[in-house]
Amino acid sequence: MPRSSPFKRHRFPREVILCAVRWYLRYPLSYQDVVDLLEERGVAVDRSTVYRWVQKFAPELTKRTERYLRRASLKWHVDETYIRVGGRWRYLWRAIDADGQMVDFRLTARRDAKAARAFLRKAIEKVRLHRPVSICTDKAHANRSVICELDHRNDPHFDSIKHIDRKWRNNRIASDHAALKRLLGYRKSFRSLRSAKATLSGMETIRTKKRRHVYDKSEGVSGEIEFIETLFKSAA
C-alpha cells in the first residue's frame, strides 16, 4: 500500500514548503526571516505556518535521508553541550565519527551516568553491527563506567570499545558543537523538547548532506535542492 503524501491538505505547493523548511534548517534565520524572504518572492505566509512546516517536514526529511547515509567510521567522538528548551537548560548529547559525520544525538534534563548510558546505548543500537572500536570523551568519570558496562552487555564476540578520555583529542566534536550553535544563531531556545528534537534532526540532516556524508553525486546548494526534491518526488 503506497504511503500517503505528507503534503496532502496543504494549501501551498510542495516546492514552497520544502524551500521554506530548507532555508530555516540551513541558515541562521528566524521564522520571521523566512516569512520575509518568501514575501519577496510573492508568497504570503505567516510565522506559525512556517513553524508547523518545520515541525512536520524536518523529521520526515531525516527519515527519508537515512537510506542514503554513508556508513559512519568506527572511531567516535562523544560530548555534550547545552541549549534552552522551554525556558530551562537541557543537555544535548552528540556523537560524530572521525570524519565529522553525525552518528546520533539526544536531549536530556541531566548530565549524569543514566543520561550517558541511555544516549550511548541508543547510538550503538542505531548502527547495529557497526559499533565503534573507540570512543573519545572528556574526563567525566561516568563515561568510563558506562562504556565498560556496555562492553559487558554486548556480544562477547565483539572486541571491547577503547575509551579515550583526553580532552584535547576531542576537539573535533567541540568544534562541531560551535558550528551547530552558530547555525542556531539567536534561536538557542526552543518551545518544547518535541520542537527541539524535530528542528535539530532536520539541521543535522542538512549538515550531513552539506558535508557529503550521503550517497549522492550532486554538490553545492543546487545539488542539495535537487537531492531534497528527489526525496519527496513521490510525495506530490
For the segment 115-125, what is each residue's pLDDT rounded down to a tens digit? 999 999 899 88
CA distance 92 to 193: 11
What type of residue is 40?
Answer: E
Domain ranges of the chain: 14-69+214-235, 75-182
Cα separation values, 115 from 45, 90, 147, 203, Å: 40, 11, 13, 22
pLDDT bucket at 1, cuts 50 / 70 / 90: very low
Mean pLDDT of all residues belonging to the chain: 89
CATH of domain 75-182: 3.30.420.10
Please tell me the predicted confidence (pLDDT) of residue 235: 55
DSSP 3-state of 232:
coil
Q: What is the mean pLDDT of residues 27-39?
A: 96
Highest mean pLDDT: which range of 126-130, 187-191, 204-208, 220-224? 204-208
CA 67 vs. chain centroid, Å, equals: 15
- Report the Cα–Cα distance between both ends of the chain, in Å, rounded: 16
Q: What is the pLDDT of residues 69-84, one digit of tens each?
A: 998 899 999 999 999 9
Please tell me the predicted confidence (pLDDT) of residue 153: 67
pLDDT bucket at 161, cuts 50 / 70 / 90: confident
Q: What is the pLDDT of residues 195-236, one digit of tens each?
A: 999 999 999 999 999 999 998 878 889 999 999 999 998 655
Average the pLDDT over each of 17-21, 126-130, 158-162, 199-203 and give the range with the smallest value. Answer: 158-162
Calculate the dihedral angle through the C-alpha atoms of 5, 8, 13, 17, rounding to the nearest 10 degrees.
-70
Q: Is the pLDDT of residue 31 over 60?
A: yes
CB 214 within 8 A of CB 228: no
Beta bridge partners of 77: 96, 136
Cα separation values, 212 from 130, 156, 170, 195, 201, Å: 20, 34, 22, 26, 17
